């Protein structure tokens, strides 16, 4: 039996157990599944089956499922509304604090206050501490469930603390060393604790060079630092270097996915590419704003062509090459845009000056334009038997591809310098702008050399 067949078979047994109120069979199979598989099973259930499941699982077991549900899941809020408020509050108490905060941040103030009131005082206080941090900052994604020790302890006493706090900590691979005022002074790995003698002092074996991030740092910058240094966790400190929490690698994976989806949405001129709204009207509302802007820009392109009506009337063959020139300009601009945004996202831009980057892109555009221009000139000459028409289209291609490549790189680089998200310079936006540039170059040159065309 294959893994997929076995999983489908278990699914049928689990669903039957839910409807038959067979809690023993259900729990025996369900609790052996990986939390991810438990979540996938839960998301496939109908409402009446979920109502049975809430009775079969404890709040702690349900917490493991909810930690794997994405906040943008379509029925995310409905799941909470189905649960008994006390059951839901206890579920939040058993979730890692940062995961609980991610969920609660999506609720309105009345719902949030209701759950915090029901929770035990300690859990509610931990959640409140994280809720006030600005979204998309290190503070908003950190967890307070970490292990800290003091430099004047021995390895033996540190291991005792580790054993007592490990069940509630999100990670134990790094143990952070603090002073009496909770300032971060060092870090020690679990490996170092294990291999050193019990009587060794933490101050003697800890690493004093600790990489940390400020609580107000942007989450994308934090993700880049963790990726560059291959950390499993990063401590978060305030401006007095007091340890506030840690950010773990699983949270950074979520950030990277979130940032990539956000950038892709903007590059595609869609407000939320991760949205799976089955309602066509809602989906259209999310896509229309950018499209309306692009529609008006398209009208500007059309009006530009209208300005060269006399040129088109005299040499109608020019209209044949409008899609070719505009399309090539849009394509090269989008390529340059993608390269520039990628360079910004990975932090490579800091190694080069904007002028140097633009000069490189200009050279790239010139080479691409020259090669494409020669090909187009030959093709048009062999097709139309008009050498000057071929030269006109070829030179237009050369000029537009060079300018479009520079424009595709210039716009996001300038936006980055102005602290504006460069992904806003979406592919369709750059394409439309380059359409106007290409039309101006093409028809401008055709008008200028009209006598040769006639």
Hunting for tokens 């630092």 — which residue is that? 225
What span, in angstroms and rounded, lies between the C-alpha atoms of 363 and 282?
44
Burial 247-274 (b: 16+ CB within 10 A, else e): bbbebbebbbebbeebbebbbebbeeee
Please say whether the beta carbons of 346 and 421 come within 8 A.
no
Of 144, 383, 351, 389, the C-alpha closest to 243 is: 144
* 121-131 and 109-118 helices, crossing angle to 10°: 150
pLDDT for 454 equals 60
pLDDT for 1 equals 41
Of 329, 363, 352, 361, the C-alpha closest to 416 is: 352
Share of the chain above pLDDT 70, in %: 86
Q: Tokens representing 334?
A: 């989008």
What span, in angstroms and rounded, lies between the C-alpha atoms of 205 and 222?
27
Query: Residue 351 has what DSSP assignment?
Result: G
What span, in angstroms and rounded, lies between the C-alpha atoms of 439 and 301?
8
Asked whether residue 245 carries a pLDDT value surpassing 90, the answer given is yes
Kindly report the pTM of this predicted structure.
0.62
In residues, how long is the chain?
454
Query: Residue 303 has what DSSP assignment?
Result: H
341 vs 127, residue with greater confidence: 127
What span, in angstroms and rounded, lies between the C-alpha atoms of 80 and 115?
11
Domains in the chain, CATH or no CATH each: 3-136 (1.25.60.10), 148-264 (3.10.580.10), 280-453 (1.10.357.20)
Q: Tokens representing 151?
A: 């430099």
Of 413, 407, 396, 397, the C-alpha closest to 341 is: 413
Asked whether residue 269 carries a pLDDT value surpassing 70, the answer given is no
Phi, psi of 144 (to 5 degrees): -95, 5
What span, in angstroms and rounded, lies between the C-alpha atoms of 158 and 139?
27
pLDDT for 116 equals 92
Give the least confident one: 86-95, 190-199, 229-238, 386-395.
386-395
Asked whether residue 236 carries a pLDDT value surpassing 90, the answer given is yes
Mean pLDDT of all residues belonging to the chain: 84
Distance separating the N- and C-terminal Cα atoms of the chain: 76
pLDDT band at 38 (very low <50, low <70, confident <90, very high): very high
Hunting for tokens 């404890």 — which residue is that? 58
Asked whether residue 271 carries a pLDDT value surpassing 60, the answer given is no
Asked whether residue 372 carries a pLDDT value surpassing 80, the answer given is yes
Other C-beta atoms within 10 Å of 48: how many?
9
Region 134-148: mean pLDDT is: 89
What span, in angstroms and rounded, lies between the C-alpha atoms of 45 and 69?
14
Q: Tokens representing 329?
A: 């300009």
Q: pLDDT tens-digit profile of 301-313?
A: 778 777 777 777 7
Asked whether residue 73 carries a pLDDT value surpassing 70, the answer given is no
Burial 357-380 (b: 16+ CB within 10 A, else e): bbeebbebbbebbeebbeebbeeb
Asked whether residue 5 carries a pLDDT value surpassing 50, the answer given is no
Region 297-302: mean pLDDT is: 78
What span, in angstroms and rounded, lies between the C-alpha atoms of 103 and 121?
19
pLDDT band at 56 (very low <50, low <70, confident <90, very high): very high
Element (H, E) at 149: strand 148-150
- CA dist 44 to 38, 41, 58, 78, Å? 10, 5, 20, 14
DSSP string, 305-346: HHHTHHHHHH-GGGGGGHHHHHHHHHHHHHHHHHHHHHHHHH
pLDDT band at 453 (very low <50, low <70, confident <90, very high): low
pLDDT for 254 equals 80
- Give 420's Cβ-side CA count (13 Å radius): 11
């Amino acid at each position: 039996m294959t893994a997929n067949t076995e999983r489908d078979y278990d699914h049928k047994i689990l669903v039957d157990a839910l409807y038959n109120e067979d809690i023993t069979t259900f729990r025996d199979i369900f609790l052996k599944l990986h939390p991810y598989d438990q979540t996938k099973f839960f998301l496939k259930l109908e409402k009446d089956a979920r109502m049975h499941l809430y009775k079969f699982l404890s709040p702690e077991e349900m917490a493991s499922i909810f930690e794997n549900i994405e906040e943008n899941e379509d029925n995310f809020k409905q799941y909470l509304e189905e649960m008994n408020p006390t059951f839901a509050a206890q579920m939040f108490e058993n979730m890692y604090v940062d995961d609980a905060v991610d969920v609660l941040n999506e609720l309105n103030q009345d719902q949030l206050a209701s759950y915090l009131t029901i929770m035990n005082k300690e859990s509610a206080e931990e959640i409140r501490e994280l809720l006030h941090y600005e979204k998309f900052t290190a503070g908003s994604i950190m967890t307070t469930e970490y292990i800290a020790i003091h430099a004047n302890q021995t390895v033996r006493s540190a291991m005792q603390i580790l054993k007592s706090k490990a069940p509630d900590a999100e990670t134990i691979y790094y143990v952070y060393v603090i002073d009496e005022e909770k300032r971060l002074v060092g870090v020690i790995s679990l490996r170092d604790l294990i291999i050193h003698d019990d009587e060794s002092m933490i101050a003697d074996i800890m690493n004093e060079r600790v990489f940390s991030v400020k609580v107000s740092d942007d989450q994308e910058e934090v993700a880049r630092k963790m990726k560059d240094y291959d950390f499993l966790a990063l401590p978060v400190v305030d401006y007095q270097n007091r340890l506030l929490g840690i950010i773990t690698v699983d949270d950074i994976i979520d950030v990277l996915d979130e940032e990539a989806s956000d950038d892709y949405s903007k590059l595609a001129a869609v407000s939320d590419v991760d949205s799976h709204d089955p309602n066509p009207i809602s989906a259209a509302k999310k896509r229309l704003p950018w499209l309306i802007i692009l529609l008006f820009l398209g009208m500007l392109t059309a009006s530009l062509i209208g300005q060269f009506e006399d040129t088109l009337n005299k040499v109608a063959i020019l209209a044949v090459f409008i899609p070719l020139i505009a399309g090539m300009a849009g394509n090269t601009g989008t390529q340059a845009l993608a390269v520039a945004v990628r360079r910004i996202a990975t932090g490579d831009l800091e190694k080069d000056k904007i002028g140097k980057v633009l000069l490189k892109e200009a050279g790239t555009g010139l080479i691409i334009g020259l090669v494409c221009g020669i090909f187009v000139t030959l093709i048009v000459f062999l097709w139309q038997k008009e050498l000057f028409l071929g030269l006109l289209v070829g030179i237009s291609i050369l000029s537009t591809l060079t300018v479009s490549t520079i424009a595709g790189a210039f716009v996001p680089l300038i936006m980055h310098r102005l602290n504006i998200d460069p992904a806003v310079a979406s592919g369709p936006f750059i394409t439309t702008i380059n359409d106007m540039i290409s039309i101006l170059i093409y028809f401008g040159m055709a008008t200028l050399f009209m006598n040769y065309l006639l």
